[in-house]
Amino acid sequence: MVEVILEAVGLHKRYGGLVATRDLNLALRPGEIHAMIGPNGAGKTTALAQLSGELRSDSGRITLNGRDITRLSMPDRARLGIARSYQITAIFPEFTVAENVAVAVQAQAGHHFHLFRNAGRDRTLTEPAQRVLRESGLAEQANHPAGDLAHGQRRQLELAMALATEPRVLLLDEPMAGMGGAEADAVGTLLERLRSRYAVLLVEHDMDMVFRLADRITVLVDGAVIASGDPGSIRADAAVQAAYLEESA
């Protein structure tokens, strides 16, 4: 049995009368891409926020390598190796691509924001940044202003910034959102290269990409898990089919 690196047991989050997640159980293993899918409003982004520490759960428990991190803040979880990317790209457009990644390296080292402008000139930051840029396929764009990148390349840069924090777990919120076919394929190829080194939780609406990439899939509807398993079993699951047919009706 492959070890579980990040595990959630019984996560619950309520906003007044709305239950965003209910009794959510999830286990991420190193070397796997685990996709979390579901109709709009199913609770996927809330679940990512609970796992990353951005949002405090009403109840339930989260462990990282067996350590209870339920009450830890988002920065504390990041220092332990949990990195999250967002649906909306978060970069410094006036910095170069390499400087953006160097900033992420610097932040992981615990430096303060007023020093970020020096990130592009510090070899202890630039050398790791160049390594990450090669890994993420952005080495040729290293000296370009980040604001000049195409949408797909911005998403690659955001992923590179997450990798620069030396994570063990990647929480990816729709990394292919707004991309054309060629851009999405490039990011998919990058994730395939990365899967052996990380535990990846992928929230993504592109079902072709989900079934291409995922080792396991968990399906949420109204905040609850209705199915979890390998792609073949999920594709054949009647409850999953009904949930998506209902959404598209």
The reported pTM is: 0.87
CATH of domain 1-81+167-249: 3.40.50.300
Lowest mean pLDDT among 64-68, 222-226, 237-241: 237-241
The answer, yes or no, to whether residue 197 has pLDDT greater than 80, is yes
The answer, yes or no, to whether residue 116 has pLDDT greater than 80, is no
Taking CA atoms, 190 is separated from 73, 117, 208, 238, in Å, by: 29, 29, 16, 32
Lowest mean pLDDT among 76-90, 177-191, 202-216, 225-239: 76-90
SS3 annotation, the chain: CCCCCEEEEEEEEEECCEEEEEEEEEEECCCCEEEEECCCCCCHHHHHHHHHCCCCCCEEEEEECCEECCCCCHHHHHHHCEEEECCCCCCCCCCEHHHHHHHHHHHHCCCCHHHHHHHHHCHHHHHHHHHHHHHHCCHHHCCCEHHHCCHHHHHHHHHHHHHCCCCCEEEEECCCCCCCHHHHHHHHHHHHHHCCCCEEEEECCCHHHHHHHCCEEEEEECCEEEEEECHHHHHCCHHHHHHHHHHHC
Mean pLDDT calculated for residue range 212-236 = 95
Domain coordinates in residue numbering, the chain: 1-81+167-249, 92-166
The answer, yes or no, to whether residue 247 has pLDDT greater than 50, is yes
The answer, yes or no, to whether residue 119 has pLDDT greater than 60, is no
Mean pLDDT calculated for residue range 147-173 = 89
Distance (Å, rounded) from C-alpha 218 to C-alpha 198?
Answer: 18
Provide the pLDDT for residue 183.
83
Kindly report, residue by residue over 170-191, the tens digit of the pLDDT.
999 988 888 888 888 888 988 9
- Greatest mean pLDDT range, 81-85, 149-153, 221-225: 221-225
At 112, the pLDDT band (50, 70, 90 cuts) reads very low
Provide the pLDDT for residue 195.
87
